[in-house]
Amino acid sequence: MAFGDFRKWLSGQLTKARQKETAWVDLASAIAESIETHVESYIEKLKARSSLYEMDKESLLEDIKELRKIFPLGEVADEDLPHVVMQRKDEIHFKKTIYPLISTLAREFKGLRVKWERIYAPVDQEQFPYGTFLVPESELELQNGLNPSDFFLTSRGAIRIPLNDIAGEDGITEEAIRAFEAKIKRVVHPLIPLRIVLDGQLYSIEFEVMDMVEIPSYSDHVTVGKQTTTDIESTPIYKQDFVQTGTTTQEERPASPMYGTPRMDAIPLDAISIDRRYY
């Protein structure tokens, strides 16, 4: 309702005697103006709160301010605020699990190969007392003399990242590592359940060695000509007074009418040739 219409409606609620008094008319106008200024805006906000994607930035920031007490946020663009708030409210239901931590690593460190690494310990506590030999999950297969079944999952974990991902223009520097660890402390540490112990960060250097792939090739071999010699008598040869005779045969492999015209697999190597043109 427009301000003028609301003021007119409110003045119409007065009795006919008071509608003629200036004080009562001014009071109705003041009440209408106050409602228009302080109440209408809240009503519009409440209407918009039915959907996070229709809320204004101020309302979203208020929700984020409340969520920061439980789930801290990193740098978020304005257009991503509704999606982040929705994710955070969903993660509240899993705040005692590792799910919020894993989803935060994927969101806050987008483009980096950051992951949560679970840590295992040997079952034989006599030979390996607890805490003296801890192995990340990705290295269980590398333990000489021990199988993955010889370990049990502990309540410990670490953040693994290749140093290649946090290297800057000057390479891998102490400043880049400190900046990464500061973000881990600010964003990740509050999400770790109390029953889980964080054993810091695991850094590695990953590289790929490119090698040429050997691709076997098959050729269509057709004998074009065949030279056959005839036996001649063993007589001394003083000059080229003989003629060498022979026959030339043309061998062509016809195309199979069932599979079409052969291109490479003239000699089938399996049940059906793999390189055919079907019609």
Q: How many CB atoms lie within 10 A of CB 240?
A: 7
106 and 113 in contact (C-beta within 8 Å)? no
Contact 11, 27 (CB under 8 A): no
Nearest to 109 by CA among 162, 43, 56, 64: 162
Closest listed residue to residue 67, CA positions, set 191, 193, 195? 191
CA distance 175 to 182: 10
The tokens for 83 are 């999606």
Alpha carbon distance 57, 82 (integer Å): 9
Among 71-80, 104-113, 145-154, the minimum mean pLDDT is found in: 71-80
Quote the tokens at residue 162: 């290749």
- Asked whether residue 271 carries a pLDDT value surpassing 60, the answer given is no
Distance (Å, rounded) from C-alpha 268 to C-alpha 48?
A: 69
The pLDDT score that the predictor gives to residue 120 is: 92
Q: How many CB atoms lie within 10 A of CB 84?
A: 21
Res 59 pLDDT > 80: no
What is the average per-residue pLDDT within 134-156? 86
Residue 266 has pLDDT above 70, yes or no: no
Cβ atoms of 266 and 222 closer than 8 Å = yes
Tokens 């063993």 belong to which residue? 234
Per-residue pLDDT, 177: 85
- The pLDDT assigned to 259 comes to 47
For the chain, the residue count is: 279
Residues of the chain with pLDDT > 70, as a percent, come to: 71
Three-state DSSP state, 148: helix
Comparing CA positions, the residue from 53, 171, 159, 9 lying closest to residue 98 is 159
Tokens of 21: 């008094």
Q: Where are the domains of the chain?
A: 3-48
pLDDT of 185-217, one tens digit each?
887 887 787 788 888 888 888 777 777 777 776
Q: Which of 187, 189, 193 is nearest to 98 (CA)?
A: 193
